Amino acid sequence: MNAFVLPAIPALDHVLDAALQARIDHKTKPPGALGMLETLALQIGSIQQTLTPALRAPHMLVCAGDHGAAKAGVSAYPQDVTWQMVENFLAGGAAINVLARQAGMTLVVADAGVNHDFGIRPGLLDAKVAPGTASYLDAAAMTRDQCETALQRGREAVSAIAGTGCNVIGFGEMGIGNTAAAALLTHCYTGIPLADCVGRGTGLDDAGLARKRVLLQQALDQWPMRNTDPADILARFGGFEIAMLAGAMIEAASRRMVLLIDGFIVTAALLAALRLAPAVREYCVFAHCSEERGHAAQLAHLAARPLLNLDLRLGEGTGAALAYPLLAAACAFLAEMASFESAGVSGRQVSDAAGG
């Protein structure tokens, strides 16, 4: 790859895992009683290489881009909704604004390739590669150079965010038609049957869903190369926002950040990132299981256990924002909860009190 250079991602050595587990187990509770919070505490401590992990300056990066295939009817909404929703983000009125504020996360909105001229706007990161992709129904959505540029701009966005002291970052997206792109990417990266990856997206009815399935199968059938190069797959079927997210994830892992993965489209971006840099996987926390068809299959492929299952299908990073307080709680109990020794309580007494 030319424009995009893979950074070194440190493999987790797990040298502190035994000590972290002992610290978790000696809190005033039966072993395992805090369930997945204990798993989170162990993972975050391992990522940060400390027995006292802490989350600093949490950010949410939402990347937006338009898809040429949206004009063919793969979505229930017109393409203009992409830029209109970006305006909503900038005005502070979208679901992700509300939930990020509630969680205490700083929201960064990036224009990776929206078919609209926003001008210079407070709160908007201009990372536009082009005003929307081409249609993968006709040819590649992106050129290889465009794809690499989007990956690199994701790296640059995270580099700037890291400058604030951030060590935990959530990912979100906006782009009419991007569940279709995510379905194609998921199929190509995992081998999951395409029919199991295609869902209703923004709310297609039965006829619209049937049309979407036909169009996406046609896109696959006319792909002449059908190679397994991860960047070529991303360029063929992806979106600028998806490629930017993949680059952002790789950069975040290289900086030992905790990566909070949202729903179906963000997980498709992660699949691309993992094909480029497999070491990213250990830095990921999976926020929730989306209602969008295909997300559960993605999570199963990744052997990932999501924190929440709330029947969400909005995107924008909303599931990641909702899950962030659980990460904060995991760090808090490890830092603040008394141990058996400090509380003067025997482990047997706690087990009896809990019904153990």
Chain Cα centroid distance, residue 283: 11
- Give one word for 55, left, alpha or beta, with left for phi > 0 and alpha for psi -120 to 50: beta
Look at residues 334, 326, 321 and name the one whose alpha carbon lies nearest to residue 307: 326
Q: How many CB atoms sit inside 10 A of residue 107's CB?
A: 23
Between CA 291 and CA 311 the distance in angstroms is 5
> Residue 98: which residues within 8 A CB-CB, separation 6 or more?
none
Between CA 122 and CA 126 the distance in angstroms is 10
Structure tokens at 126: 């201009």
Would you please indicate which residues are annotated as catalytic (active-site) residues? 316
Chain Cα centroid distance, residue 16: 26
Give the long-range contacts of residues 80-85, CB within 8 A, separation 24 or more.
81/176, 82/114, 82/115, 82/116, 82/174, 82/175, 82/176, 83/114, 83/115, 83/116, 83/118, 85/174
Q: Three-state DSSP class for 173? A: strand
List C-alpha distances in Å: 49 to 93, 96, 168, 236, 250: 38, 31, 14, 38, 19
Between CA 94 and CA 88 the distance in angstroms is 6
Q: Three-state DSSP class for 215? A: helix
Q: How many CB atoms sit inside 10 A of residue 333's CB?
A: 16
